[in-house]
Structure formats: C-alpha cells, structure tokens
Amino acid sequence: MKFLFVSALLCCIVLGSCNMQDYDIQIPERVFGRLNILQKDLTLDVKERGSLSFEYQVTGTREQIKLETKIANNRYHSVLSYRSDESGWIDASVFDIDLQEVIDKKNMNIIIEKHAKTLKKKFDVSTVSRIADILEGLPELLYNELGREEYNNESTFSVFYHLATFNTVRRSFESRSRDCQCDINPKYLSGTSPFFCAEDIMVSADWAYEFISEKSAVNKFAGKQFNPKSSLKYLSNEFGRLVSASKIDKLLREELESFLRKLNEKERQQLMNEHYTLSMVPMLKSGSEGDDYPWWQWLGYDPGCLLYGVFMGGDCGCCGNYSGPCQLCLLICFTHDHDCETCEPRWYCLDGCVPGPC
C-alpha cells in the first residue's frame, strides 16, 4: 500500500524545510474574481471540433487570466494568457497537442512534465505560484457557469492541464529540484476525474479537518499538545470544497516544525526517550549537522508519524519504506494507502505494494 512515487513532493516538504526559522505561518488564501465566458462550442465529439474562451478578472487588482482553447482535426491548441498589476498581457502557457498521442491518457503527465521544464526557465517562483493560485479556483466557477454537460468536455478540461503545469513548476522550485515531476493520477486514467498530477491529489477539506483534529487531539509531544490552528483554520475556510493534499501537508509540516523548534533540550530528550528503539540507530548515525540536516533528525523519527499514529514502515500512511520505523508520513500517503488496501490496480499501487487495512 506504500506511496512510492512522490519523491519530488517529499523533497519539497522535507528538504525545503531544512533552513526554515520560526515565522508566522502563512495560510493559503483563495483568489476571488469574476468569470466572463467569451465564446464556446462544446460539442460531444472532441476529435472533430470544440472551443472555449473566457476571461477571469481578479477582485481588487488589474490581474487577469484569459484562456483560449480550440480543438480541430485531432489537434489541441490551448493558450493561457496572464496580465499582472505591473505588466501587460503575456502568453504564459501554450499547449499544442496531437490528440492521437494521448488517446489512452497515459502520456499526458509526460507532456505536463516537458511543458513545466519550459515554463520554469520562463518565470520565477512568485509568478508561477500566483498563476497557480488563480487557476485553482476556476474549475468550480466553470462548472457553475457551464453546467454538467458542457463542463465535461476536453475543451473545458484544458484549465486542468495549465494548472497541473504551474503546480509542477512550483513543486520543482520549492524542492530545489532540477526535475519537474508529475506522476500519473489513476482517477484521471479511469475517467472519474479531470487531470491532476498524483502529487496534487484532491481531498475533502471537511474530511481532512476532522482527520487532523482527531489525530492532534490524542497525540502529545513530550507532554505538550500540538494545536495545528493554522492548518485547521485553512481547512475550515475551505469547508465544502476539495483541496490539494500536498498543500495541506506543507502547511501542517511548517506548523509542526515551528512547534518542535520551541521545545527545550529537556523536552527534546524526553520526546526521544518516549519513542526510541534500536532500529533507529542507523538513521541517527547517518545524520550530520549542516544545510541539509533534517530538522527532525535529532528525534530519529519523523514527528509527522507520531502525529498520525504511524510507527512502522508497513503502517498505513508511511511514505516509502517498509522495514524499520517509518521515516516519513504525509496525508497524501495516507490517502494513497487507503485507496490501495488490496494493492489493486497494480499500475497505481505498484509492485512493491503489500496488502493491508487502513
């Protein structure tokens, strides 16, 4: 049931936290604005023709997003334009795809990765993050404006390809990685979801709020209660919506890091004694102070695992390893493991999967 294919995300969340100091946790904010459909031809047979264009004006700014997508003769052309407060219109993202190349959908993530590498050379992380945040709210607006039948169309789904690309670039920047990784999302392949990278799996904000509230209420660190108030506030603001599991993981881990850094030496030793086992010795010896020194290495155990009640590598919610104590735990791994209790389908759960209940 192990989540093996999120290396870029894990690097982002763990290594990206190495040099962080205590600071005010920034809660992600939803971008609001006004959607204006300019033109649409959303036919059922996307191979023959189809088109959609719209503008989105961000509230209180001069920022705008414009999307123009056309499908004709098995060619897919989609242009996303962006105007910031300071500059004029630019073509931020352009897809030109032969639909025959993605007929079984298995190549779409490869196209996203290639496109992400191009955009990473073009924009800085602040611009990439801003465009991604704006795009995140558009699917719900499009569904409300178009209705179910017109929304479920390849022309409409173009917004997800652009969003996945900008999210992929953002993850690459945050992880300081040269790669732009976007793994296959099984729900997209099965036709039950528009395109998302596996790293950006969406979960119910209501479920995540209850899950994190329950876990944080029953687990303590050296006798102290960890209250992830920023994470819970963010999720409460998103009630009734789907949110990215990776975004929750990043925010929650930032809060947990800030909490643990405030423990004194006596409290740190108490926490180590409470959870120390001989199997941790190799991991403790492998650590060394420096820029890449994991902020939780002194514990010899990922505190996220303590929060989730995960102890060994084979437990549901552990990312990657099966032997010894779990070295990393994330909400995105718990979600994946829950879907892979029976290790089917294999193309999603992978050959290293071991069946087991969550």
**How would residue 231 be classed by pLDDT, with cut points 50, 70 and 90?**
very high
The CA distance from 203 to 312, in Å, is 25
Residue-range domain boundaries for the chain: 7-11+202-349, 31-200
Q: What is the torsion angle, in degrees rounded to the nearest 10, for the CA atoms of residue 176, residue 164, residue 252 and residue 232? A: 160
List alpha helices for 84-204, DSSP H: 108-122, 125-136, 138-146, 148-151, 158-175, 186-189
Task: Please state the rounded mean pLDDT for residues 253-272.
Answer: 84
The mean pLDDT of 106-120, rounded to a whole number, is 92
**Between 41 and 21, where is the model more confident?**
41
pLDDT at 300: 59
Q: Does residue 169 or residue 183 have the better pLDDT? A: 169
Cα 67–68–70 angle (5° rounding)?
145
Whether the predicted pLDDT of 216 surpasses 50: yes
Report the C-alpha gap between 183 and 169 in whole angstroms.
13
pLDDT at 22 over 70: no
Q: Do 28 and 137 touch, CB atoms closer than 8 A? A: no
Contacts of 161 (CB under 8 A, 6+ apart): 78, 95, 108, 111, 112, 195
The full DSSP string for 208-251 is: HHHHHHHHHHH-EETTEEP--HHHHHHHHHTTTSEEEHHHHHHH
As given in the structure block, the two tokens for residue 146 are 């178009």
- The per-residue pLDDT for 275 is 65
Residue type, 194: P
295 compared with 215, residue with greater pLDDT: 215
48 pLDDT band, cuts 50/70/90, is: low
pTM for the whole thing? 0.74
Is there a contact between 340 and 357 (Cβ–Cβ < 8 Å)?
A: no
| pLDDT of 345 over the 50 cut | yes
The H-or-E segment that residue 337 falls in is helix 331-339
Q: Which two tokens stand for residue 35?
A: 């959607």
Look at the block and give the residue holding tokens 């294919």: 5
Cα dist from 324 to 206, 277, 280, 313, whole Å? 33, 10, 8, 6
In 3D space, the residue among 209, 199, 213 whose CA is nearest the CA of residue 240 turns out to be: 209
Comparing 132 with 323, the larger pLDDT belongs to 132
Matching residue, tokens 């209660």: 225
